[in-house]
Structure 1
């Protein structure tokens, strides 16, 4: 493997690796051992569901369960080593880039999985768009350090000119052949994976990607983890690269969804009392899809949020301009100051509700229905968000402006467990 820190020409530099994959004959089914990314699993329900699906489900590596963080990470490392020793997981015979396809109804997404040379934001090659939570980075770093593996790929995007050339041309030819694996997960998505090993194909992909920069669509904490672990090394090597899925959104546009907030210790009644006279508050009719339509309509006019957790839905919109002027930090682009996530964190969480951004107080949930259900169970408040447009995200990233943490959810996300990267075996 080339061990440069980043591509000399300033573009994306992706290299093949020997994928670590499940051996089909040693597991019940491939679908039963896969998982959503670690931060999408709704704990505890989702975790228990995945653990019971198959004794070798990948969730036992990405979300190990033990009494202390150190014990969790050590358990994951021991489980990974045992599965390799028992032949549950095995390395592919030669280094490859992997073409990955996801399909469901009218959704078709294809991209390339490989080991991408790491770069910092000031190099302008890989652009983050969200802030990260230090405690999450520390936990992911400890897990990755202990297992010495990239257990799941980040989701990155770039934009070509939209023509079927370069990397896209290679992908679209490769998918005409037989895949390494094919499965359909319980969410209805079919997944297929092909290996690209031909030197000419690899060169063509490399030359094409070297002309582009990428946006982190999903995986900011894992990217920050990659950089932290790289900086711990005394010499360049495998830690200078991280496992990513790279999607050309000119050919395969992603869908952007919101990430919702669950305020664990704030009852809906208290939330509504505190926000009175600072936002317009309206009760809206359910069920949930209908309430979300009301949120979408209001979001088209300005900042809007939907509160749930007491069996009803409450729309907050038309914030008091004086409140925003007083609480939203100046010195940032207007697009950043007008983001729902900015207004939520700066005005509502910090000044109106006075809720600290800690795991005990705020849970970030991708699934809308799950956020409502959990709020009702805990007696808390679900703050349902409307998604940000991708062009807003990309433009802020190009300006070097990061959005509040957990502002967006791009998808569909890659299934975890289809291909892993060992940093000491491959």
Structure 2
């Protein structure tokens, strides 16, 4: 392994690795063995669907099912070992960086997958923008520690001048060749993967990325996991690097979506009664799409949320200014204090509804319809959010200010299962 770290160049340091990939002849189809990232799969029926798609679906590694956490992690390690020995998964012959493309309609995303040298936020090389939940970091660390593998890449973004130079030039030359793999998943996205092994092209990517810093778009918990495990392995080696997908958003802009909250133990009627005199509440007997449009209009004027769970929607906006002054922490930038997620957690969850931010009370769901449906199913309240602008996210990240956890969802997210990284082979 090349042990030159980020301190030597001050920017991103991405190195090749021997990717673990499914052997196409040993599985039903590549689409059938992939899955969304682990934290997007929130419904048991979604997990069952993926497990049923193919006996070797990657979900059996990223979300193994067993009675205890220890059993789950051990089961994943055994499954990975068995798939390697049976030739379900195999390592590529030589280390490579991987060009990855996702496409659906007008959406086109291209980037480079590699092993990135780990840095602290204070180094200013990789910038987080959200807080993390310690219990999730602990669980992901135990899984990664037991399997000795990076099972899915984080999504990181950086900004170039937008010209086809450096890494972007290599990407756009590489895609002219036949890919290593090509598949279309059931969400309609096509995925293609190429490897880059040429020394001159690797150097071109290296020199370009060394001039940039990156923001974590998706994968804060896995990044925190990487850092924790690096601390457990102080000697220079594979644990000093983590699997990432780097996207130049000047060339390939990402979409920013909201992450919604399911308040499992708060009925809608109780949620609404708690808001009396503090927020304006309007009841909407309209379809979800129209209700989300109404939310977007309200957000343009200030903090607003859409509550669901009783068969209709309730638009909550115009919070009392005095209430916000009393409940939102001071000493932070105004851009942070006025975030919907900040007001939700500080004013609504902590002060008005007094709901702990714990898994038994709050579930984070990426899909608005799924959040509303589950709220009706469990008799709880779904709080539907409007997306934050990417420029606000990046501005806060550069300033070193983290947003409340699960404030954003950048995408499209890389499919899990197309390329893995073993820490025993690097």
Range with greater deviation from structure 2 (218-227 or 282-291): 282-291
Q: Which residue of 1 aligns with 2:167?
A: 167
CA deviations 1:288-321 (Å, max 9, x no partner) are 1010000000001000000000000000000000
For residues 284 and 395 of structure 1, what CA distance do their matches in structure 2 show? 34
CA deviations 1:25-57 (Å, max 9, x no partner) are 000000000000000012211101100110000
Gaps of at least 5 residues in structure 2 are none
CA contact (8 A) 1:127 1:216 kept: yes
Q: Which residue of 2 aligns with 1:277?
A: 277
Q: Which residue of 2 aligns with 1:140?
A: 140
CA deviations 1:155-198 (Å, max 9, x no partner) are 00000001001110010010000000000000000000000000
What SS does structure 1 have at the residue aligned with 2:228? Answer: helix
What SS does structure 1 have at the residue aligned with 2:155? Answer: strand
1:293 aligned onto 2:301: no
CA deviations 1:115-159 (Å, max 9, x no partner) are 000000000000000000000000000000000000000000000
Q: Which residue of 2 aligns with 1:176?
A: 176
- 1:246-285 aligned within 5 A: 246-285=246-285
1:234 aligned onto 2:234: yes
Q: Which residue of 1 aligns with 2:329?
A: 329
For residues 6 and 142 of structure 1, what CA distance do their matches in structure 2 show? 26
- 1:14-25 aligned within 5 A: 14-25=14-25
CA contact (8 A) 1:31 1:183 kept: yes
What SS does structure 2 have at the residue aligned with 1:39? Answer: helix
For residues 351 and 45 of structure 1, what CA distance do their matches in structure 2 show? 34
For residues 267 and 87 of structure 1, what CA distance do their matches in structure 2 show? 50
What SS does structure 1 have at the residue aligned with 2:6? Answer: coil
For residues 298 and 163 of structure 2, what CA distance do their matches in structure 1 show? 37
CA contact (8 A) 1:263 1:381 kept: yes
What SS does structure 2 have at the residue aligned with 1:250? Answer: coil
For residues 31 and 200 of structure 1, what CA distance do their matches in structure 2 show? 33
Q: Which residue of 1 aligns with 2:350?
A: 350
For residues 376 and 91 of structure 1, what CA distance do their matches in structure 2 show? 46
For residues 4 and 347 of structure 2, what CA distance do their matches in structure 1 show? 44
For residues 180 and 371 of structure 1, what CA distance do their matches in structure 2 show? 37
CA contact (8 A) 1:22 1:90 kept: yes
Instruction: Tell me how far 1:236 sits from its aligned partner.
Output: 1.1
Range with greater deviation from structure 2 (267-276 or 284-293): 284-293
Instruction: Tell me how far 1:5 sits from its aligned partner.
Output: 4.5
Q: Which residue of 2 aligns with 1:421?
A: 421
For residues 191 and 7 of structure 1, what CA distance do their matches in structure 2 show? 34
Instruction: Tell me how far 1:9 sits from its aligned partner.
Output: 1.7
What SS does structure 2 have at the residue aligned with 1:291? Answer: helix
CA contact (8 A) 1:21 1:420 kept: yes
Instruction: Tell me how far 1:7 sits from its aligned partner.
Output: 4.3
- 1:69-80 aligned within 5 A: 69-80=69-80
CA contact (8 A) 2:5 2:13 kept: no
TM-score normalised by L of structure 1: 0.99
TM-score normalised by L of structure 2: 0.99
What SS does structure 2 have at the residue aligned with 1:256? Answer: strand
Gaps of at least 5 residues in structure 1 are none
- 1:181-192 aligned within 5 A: 181-192=181-192
For residues 329 and 405 of structure 1, what CA distance do their matches in structure 2 show? 16
For residues 393 and 68 of structure 1, what CA distance do their matches in structure 2 show? 37
CA contact (8 A) 2:263 2:383 kept: yes
Q: Which residue of 2 aligns with 1:101?
A: 101
CA contact (8 A) 1:299 1:386 kept: yes
For residues 378 and 3 of structure 1, what CA distance do their matches in structure 2 show? 51
Runs of 4+ in 1 over 6 A off after TM superposition: none
Q: Which residue of 2 aligns with 1:59?
A: 59
